[in-house]
Structure 1
């Protein structure tokens, strides 16, 4: 009797395990219908570029491109440049990318870097039809471009709402990595609202979808078959996929597309401040319970912020009803605000909350920079911060646009100043929320600093302002 019972239990256990595996398999998404319904509107984009010079000998120009951070990059570059018969003559090079059709009459969306400096852009459909495309407009700040091909009743994709994406949600990409047309890869949303270096106006979608060179400009789909992003960048130490991919949210894409299609350029909102994150030490120095918001390190003259009364040292914690957790949250919010709109910002100033109303203006085309500063011969003041400073000359003040305040850091010893991150050549603008007028005034301010408590110090370095937290330890 015991043997049959044992066999029954074994069979029951196997069936149970099989049932679990079937249930798990059924819970995984099936992408086949999505791919079949949408592949026709995904296109391959090839461009002809005009290179200034080519020292690569004939017959070797079709070698695969080697990433600049590859350990073989310098070796191959040196080898190829030393070969004869290159002649240094101009030549035509090619690049590959992806894109998708957004309208039946032939408007195509791709990345700006796919078509940048292109002499000719060719769009190839899945049925192998090819069109020479016209570049309607490009937007380097969002890395987007709009093309136009001559066609009627072309297949199109449905756009979704990237604001509804959730971290952990399945997403799928279709593109042409390394020229392999209509390759499909899938993964999940890893994070939202990512800010990348030099990309302040795009809150990127981070995914673990396999993206490689050639995928750029292709669509990112949700499980409903809606485009939720445009694949744009990867983070890689090798030039290939390493699990970190970034897509421009489709809500940003739609706005850029409409502006490029209607007027050939993109206008963005502009506040006119330089900002930085609030660290734990800075939060303590500003008497904040927790670090959050965007700390204003500089207010540009005649900007919307200056006109509204925003001051250096203010911490913007809310913009037009949206809380600011990190400083990277603010630029996309401002950039997406219509020029001429009136918005309310909530700031913290000297520990008190305050609301200001301002009118958003258009972001200038060129970034504003400051001239390089000179360096005096001799310091004038020393103090318990172990920092030696001296007054700025009139010509230096004119170059740096600092008519009223600021002293030059000449030397930094092994004391609180160095621990705070102050360097020789910095311009000290404010100390403990007070503008530094000159070297003598700086010495007075240092003498009044509390011990055992972090206080903010505003410095200008390489033309850009930034706050640091400095603390004098009790003896």
Structure 2
């Protein structure tokens, strides 16, 4: 048996070597001709939307063309609007001579003798000589002179004023006047380009450019009825009563006030929107005054419990015998709409009521407790505001 052992061991090693050789061959063949490895799926890869790569020279050319068109548009708008904007100069007669100790504080003898003068701007709204401006530009003036486009000076008279919106209408006797074109009120949007035209500081007619920063600004304490357009176009003393126009030269507002700590422009100006200005202007031209609807209530804002947003006007008090009282409105009622137009707060209630003519029957939707109902209310005549 001992003679056969080496032969057996040799055959065993030979078998093992053959198995290893075959396995290595199979592994090499699998790597060479087997399937491609599959990468694990990526769940964090997202598709990005990219703008197509534009030719640099073409982009520069297009940009220049757009800039040229915009520049030409601004020039045309400025020229069109400027032909309808005037400078207004006012003067108050000197007060009756008083002893020095009774004269206004800080007043000099020269000022007392000459009276007070001021300046502003206005907008020609009709070829018959009607000019729209701010009430504060002409309030208390004894003499009013208007410098028309072209340099001619004409004497003006006051047709009527509306202190509650700070608007006034003047009239001059002149021919060849170019009335401004009124813009569609609904076309005014935040971000629109706006041009302010007026006579700041009396330096002469000036055009500045900005954007419509906001619309519907109210509760600023400037006027009783506020629905201002806010703009960052430079507005300074002397611009009051001037035009705020769009890139077509159409009137979108009457420049009225600025927010400023220094007295000069700080990029926050306010203009009365053309919708309100036109409504007031047409009444003054027709009758010399403005009539407004009146409800005879006091109210407070209703705040939504969840969102914190204004959600109507709740009546706090109803004047006995007034229009609201006669129609059956009560303290505690919440007015949510007038003639289908939503009333979000007390400012909206005042504005919407005043926009209607006295004697108008308006449909009021109210919330009384948890019940919604409708009432027809015949509006009265809003009392004339007293001077503070």
Per the TM superposition, whether the score is higher than 0.5 is: yes
Relative contact order: is structure 1 or structure 2 higher (C-alpha 8 Å, sep ≥ 6)?
2
**Residue 290 of structure 2: which of 244, 266, 281 is its match?**
266
Q: Secondary structure at the match of 1:277?
A: strand
Q: Aligned pair 1:106/2:129, yes or no? A: yes
Q: Secondary structure at the match of 1:246?
A: strand
Residue by residue over 1:86-135, the C-alpha shift from the partner in whole angstroms, topping out at 9 and shown as x without a partner, is 49945411101000211222111111000011010000013110001111
Q: Aligned pair 1:127/2:150, yes or no? A: yes
Could you tell me which residue of structure 1 aligns to residue 12 of structure 2? none
Q: Aligned pair 1:328/2:347, yes or no? A: yes
**Residue 337 of structure 1: which of 345, 356, 360 is its match?**
356
Measured in 2, the distance between the counterparts of 1:352 and 1:368 equals: 41
Shift of 1:339: 1.6
Q: Aligned pair 1:138/2:180, yes or no? A: no
Measured in 1, the distance between the counterparts of 2:308 and 2:209 equals: 42
Q: How does 1:74-113 map to 2 (within 5 A)?
A: 86=109, 89=112, 91-113=114-136
Q: Aligned pair 1:157/2:176, yes or no? A: no
Q: How does 1:279-358 map to 2 (within 5 A)?
A: 279-280=303-304, 283=305, 291-358=310-377
Measured in 2, the distance between the counterparts of 1:98 and 1:127 equals: 15
Q: How does 1:57-456 map to 2 (within 5 A)?
A: 86=109, 89=112, 91-195=114-218, 196-197=220-221, 199-280=223-304, 283=305, 291-366=310-385
Shift of 1:296: 1.6
Measured in 2, the distance between the counterparts of 1:181 and 1:289 equals: 48
Alpha carbons of 1:290 and 1:123: their partners in 2 closer, same or farther (altered >3 Å)? Answer: closer
Shift of 1:211: 0.8
**Residue 78 of structure 2: which of 35, 49, 73 is its match?**
35
Residue by residue over 1:59-81, the C-alpha shift from the partner in whole angstroms, topping out at 9 and shown as x without a partner, is xxxxxxxxxxxxxxxxxx98x56
Measured in 2, the distance between the counterparts of 1:353 and 1:305 equals: 17
Contact persistence 1:208–1:243 (CA under 8 A): yes
Number of aligned residue pairs: 329
Q: Secondary structure at the match of 1:15?
A: helix
State the structure with more CA Rg. 2
Unaligned regions of 5+ residues in structure 2, if any?
1-53
Shift of 1:198: 5.3
Residue by residue over 1:189-209, the C-alpha shift from the partner in whole angstroms, topping out at 9 and shown as x without a partner, is 122222132523232212222
Contact persistence 2:332–2:368 (CA under 8 A): yes
Contact persistence 2:313–2:343 (CA under 8 A): yes
Alpha carbons of 1:290 and 1:204: their partners in 2 closer, same or farther (altered >3 Å)? Answer: closer
Measured in 2, the distance between the counterparts of 1:105 and 1:20 equals: 45
Q: Secondary structure at the match of 1:118?
A: coil
Could you tell me which residue of structure 1 aligns to residue 47 of structure 2? none
Q: Aligned pair 1:18/2:37, yes or no? A: no
Contact persistence 1:200–1:328 (CA under 8 A): no
Measured in 2, the distance between the counterparts of 1:292 and 1:150 equals: 50
Measured in 2, the distance between the counterparts of 1:183 and 1:15 equals: 37
Q: Secondary structure at the match of 2:77?
A: helix
Q: Normalising by structure 1, report the TM-score.
A: 0.63
Contact persistence 1:200–1:332 (CA under 8 A): no
Residue by residue over 1:155-189, the C-alpha shift from the partner in whole angstroms, topping out at 9 and shown as x without a partner, is 22111222331121111111001112210011111
Contact persistence 1:269–1:335 (CA under 8 A): yes
Residue by residue over 1:403-442, the C-alpha shift from the partner in whole angstroms, topping out at 9 and shown as x without a partner, is xxxxxxxxxxxxxxxxxxxxxxxxxxxxxxxxxxxxxxxx
Shift of 1:352: 2.5
Q: Normalising by structure 2, report the TM-score.
A: 0.77
Residue by residue over 1:251-303, the C-alpha shift from the partner in whole angstroms, topping out at 9 and shown as x without a partner, is 222221222122211101111122222235xx48xxx9964111222222222
